[in-house]
Amino acid sequence: MAKKLYVGGLSYNTSQQTLQDAFAKAGTVETATIIMDKMTGRSKGFGFVEMTSDEDAAKAIEMWNGKELDGRTLTVNEARPMGERPPRRDFNRGPRGFGGGRGDSY
């Protein structure tokens, strides 16, 4: 069964292929994904790597956690499931839900 790892501290220049090749040194990589910002199309500086076995995942954590890739020190650990998140605030509506952003006084 595949084990998903969180990889933080990625350089904005690191590609998915570079990430996959680096983690392949520890074992078989199923997928390597860098999370991209929707607005800018730039890397958010973190991603996920799925290793095919628990043993390969443990080797990858040992091999890469605290180590440097593309000039940045990585944080690598077992990914946790995404939990419940509070609703997002609509910043276009001002602090009390009224229109704002033009210097209006309340």
Task: Find the length of the chain.
Answer: 106
CATH number for the domain spanning 58: value is 3.30.70.330
Render pLDDT for 65-98 as a digit per residue (tens, 0 to 9). 999 999 999 999 999 887 776 777 666 655 555 5
In a domain, 100, yes or no: no
Decide if 98 is inside a domain: no
At residue 12, the pLDDT reads 94
Confirm whether 48 is domain-assigned: yes
Asked whether residue 9 is assigned to any structural domain, the reply reads yes
For residue 105, being part of any structural domain is answered with no
Tell me: pLDDT of 105 over 60: no
Radius of gyration of the chain (CA): 19
Predicted TM-score (pTM) of this structure: 0.77
Q: Residue 83 falls within a domain, yes or no? A: no
Q: How many helices (H) and strands (E) does the chain have?
A: 2, 6
Query: How far apart, in whole angstroms, are the C-alpha atoms of residue 95 and residue 79?
Result: 35
Tokens 């443990």 belong to 58
Show the domain range for 53: 3-78
Q: How many domains does the chain have?
A: 1
